Amino acid sequence: MKAAPLIEELKKEPAFKYALVHTGQHYNFKMSEVFFKELKIPKPKYNLNVGSVSPAGQISRIMQRLERVLLKEKPGLVVVMGDINSTLAAALTAVKTGIPLAHIESGLRSFNKKMPEETNRIIVDHISDYLFVSEQDGIDNLIKEGISTKKIFYVGNIMIDTLLKSKPCKRKKGDYAVLTLHRQENVDNKKVFNQILKALGKIPIEIIWPVHPRIKNFKRTKNMKIVNPLGYLEFISLINNSCFVMTDSGGVQEETTFLNIPCLTLRTETERPVTVSKGTNIIAGIEEKEIIKQAKKILSGKVKKARPIKYWDGHAAKRIVKAL
């Protein structure tokens, strides 16, 4: 969702040539190839095929395989996005091979060092030459950490570029909620996971859950409808017509805010505070009582309304290319 609009803008600018590298971290068809088809992303020039191994194994495999690509291509810049293992691995490889680095979605902080993504974000930001920020909080965080303002570019949210391009149909509020869960602190911790599932079972509405491939064994509740992972367009349509969404995903917090759909974040913090201050997002935590309480509030009609957020307007990719 972040690569598609950038590639589209790069194609319009004759000064640039690019090579797309797919690490293969997301190896499930519905979580990878279907996005390339739906978002009309060209086939990657390179696929590193790292697959499903431990985080350290993924990072080391990417670094070894990407180094060969960079030495062959000799690019003038490496662009990385987000905060996953691929982001960190590619960023480190660029720096170790002496190639300038740009980071899209810089400056986001949850201030929770237990999150693997938080470590990735901090390291990548501090070794990047160009930091493209989606919201004012990101700029503030980077300046507090001593990063020069000359490296920081306020470009807006590139995820919204893709969301607008997908042209979600006019909202028809359905009689269901949508759930997404994937973070290891929620699904790998049995106590927390069972606590969340227990709360979900007491919410008086059907819950549609596209289950992440990493979640294997769980006890479904009667109000749950389990579905396979969805493509981007299917998922946006599903949440756009839902009563509300429950998630531990950062991207979904942004999408629901832009679409003005109530969102309960099943975490104790967020790295996207603008979705709380200006958006529809509520930090519901992981405690059973609070999750149920916040869900019932929404069902009773007590919902937050989103306000416009600067540069969440579909032109973030244009600003990035202009800056480059």
> Do residues 23 and 89 lie in contact, with contact meaning Cβ atoms separated by under 8 Å?
yes
Listed in sequence order, the DSSP H helices in 97-214 are 116-127, 136-144, 158-165, 184-187, 190-200
Read off the amino acid at residue 91: A
What is the number of alpha carbons within 13 Å of residue 211 lying toward its C-beta? 15
Catalytic residue among 22, 103, 182, 315: 182
Per-residue burial over 46-59, b = 16 or more CB atoms within 10 Å of its CB, e = otherwise: bebebeeeeeeebb
Q: To the nearest 10°, the Cα dihedral for 40, 257, 169, 82?
A: 10
Give strand ranges (E) for the chain: 21-22, 46-47, 78-81, 101-106, 130-133, 152-154, 176-180, 206-210, 224-227, 244-247, 263-265, 281-283
Task: State the Rg of the chain over Cα.
Answer: 19
Rounded-to-integer distance, Cα 209 and Cα 246, Å: 10
- Distances 41 to 2, 7, 9, 26, 73 between C-alpha atoms, Å: 11, 8, 12, 16, 20
Identify whether the C-beta of residue 3 lies closer than 8 Å to the C-beta of residue 80.
no
Told to judge if 26 belongs to the known catalytic residues of this protein, a careful annotator would answer no
- Name the residues annotated as catalytic: 182
